[in-house]
Amino acid sequence: MPLAIARYLLPALLPAAMALAAVSAPREALAGPTLDAVKARGQLVCAMNGSRPGFSVVDSKGEWTGLEVDVCRAIAAAVLGDASKVQYVKSTTQTRLTVLQTGEVDVTLSNVTWTYGRDADLGLDFVTPTFYDGQGFMVPKKLGVKSVKELDGAAVCVRPGSTSERIVADAQAQYGMKVTLVVIEDQKELNTAFFGGRCDVFVQTTSGLSAIRAAVAPNPEDFVILPEIFGKDPMGPVVRQGDPQWRDIVQWVVFALFEAEERGITSKTVDAVRKDSKQPEVRRLLGTAGSAAGKGLGLDPDWAYRVIKQVGNYAEIYDRGLGNGSKLKLARGVNQQWTNGGLFYAPPF
């Protein structure tokens, strides 16, 4: 008897539950500007990977560090005035976008590659890339190789069916050379094979290569990542669709990081520049041009000054997380301002 009741009850309940979800889901999306919610809460909530050296990891003291962590802190500095008013939610590749859709986090900074499919289908907005990853070639320094073109006849370590394998095939066709593929499925065995000398070249994402080099290489200085980068892996902050103000805030915080680097304003010099500079763009950036700046974003004029003062410009962030100030020692590559031949280009302030 009880089973019979359950049998009739469940089919009746399920559509009801779905209808309820359908009614409440759009309400969630329109639930006021994210900015108000963040200010009311007094904390910015960011979804983080937590397991990507250089981007977001937890150090021995339980503190979060990395490039994407610093971008999150920059947003908090702009919106709440304090870079430490941040709550990090560790998320996996399965949950990083779901927690954003459910409203649990305000922004996802979890190495999400910006792709057409994700942007079009998920009800999310990819703001602007803060790191351009791509497939790179790592070789032992003692080979004296300076470019991928010189790799004719080399043995190349790749994972079967990976993007890297395709990239190697493309590079062979492009430069008219012939390499021997050493195909190994397991990442650990792949590392052992390369550092054990079974192959001359290791092909993977540049951020992955630099992490492997720092972690596994007997002596990290003996290996170089060649300057050519193949494939596209742009990653940056992701926000919910339907809140243009919040999207703009995140976007201009990132642009402020770029602009500050382009103009050579660092966390150390920002006070002096703010006092002395007569350039209108700098004055608008640092909030000395007048009280109107930042109003359209719903922020006070000093927001970008606080970002640079508390977190630093993009170069400082990169150096701490991935560059020479870190264990990864990953060269800037295309992750430069456009003035240095890179891909970062902030619209004028």
Partner 1 sequence: MATLSCRSFAKTSDGAPPRLPPPVARGPVGWLRRNLLASPFDAAVTLLLALAIAWFVPRAFAWALTDAVFWAPDGAACRGAAGACWAVIGEKYRLILFGTYPYEEQWRGAVVVAIFVAMIGFSAIGGISVRVKLAAWALASVATLVLLLGGVFGLSPVRTHLWGGLPLTIVIFVSTVAGGLPLAVLLALGRQSTMPAIRAISVGVIEVVRGLPLIAVLFVASLVFPLFVPPELQVDKLIRAIIGMIIFFGAYAAEIVRGGLQAIPAGQHEAAKALGLGYGLRMRLVVLPQALALVVPALLNDIIRAFKNTTFVAILGLFDVLGAAKVALEDPVWVRYAPEVYIFVFILYLLFCLAFSRQGMAVERRLAVRRR
Question: Which chain residues interact with partner 1 by CB under 8 A?
Answer: 1-3, 5-6, 9-10, 17, 20-21, 24-25, 27-28, 31, 37, 50-53, 57-64, 87-92, 95, 98-99, 102-104, 211, 214-216, 218, 327-328
- Find tokens 């300057």 and name the residue: 227
CB nearer to partner 1: pick between 219 and 291 = 219
Contact yes or no for 78/71 (Cβ under 8 A) = no
Q: How far apart are CA 31 and CA 328, in angstroms?
A: 41
Q: How far is the CB of 296 from partner 1 (least distance, A)?
A: 26
Q: Please answer whether residues 307 and 287 qualify as being in contact, where contact means their C-beta atoms are separated by less than 8 angstroms.
A: no
Distance between CA atoms of residues 78 and 307, nearest Å? 6
Which DSSP category does 322 fall into? T
CB 33 within 8 A of CB 298: yes
Nearest distance, CB of residue 260 and partner 1, angstroms: 28
Pick the closer one to partner 1 by CB: 59 or 121: 59
Q: Which is nearer to partner 1, 28 or 152 (CB)?
A: 28
E-assigned strand segments in the chain:
44-48, 51-52, 56-58, 64-65, 86-90, 107-109, 124-126, 131-140, 155-158, 180-183, 201-205, 223-225, 230-235, 238-240
Rounded least distance, CB 341 to partner 1, Å: 28
Identity of the residue, 51 or 163, whose beta carbon is nearer to partner 1 in the bound complex: 51
Q: State how far the Cα of 308 lies from the Cα of 256, in Å rounded to an integer.
A: 8
- Least distance from C-beta 11 to partner 1, angstroms? 13
Contacts of 251 (CB under 8 A, 6+ apart): 127, 128
CB of residue 64 vs partner 1: minimum separation in angstroms?
8
Q: What is the nearest approach in angstroms of partner 1 to the Cβ of residue 41?
A: 10
Query: Which residue's CB is nearer to partner 1, number 104 or number 189?
Result: 104
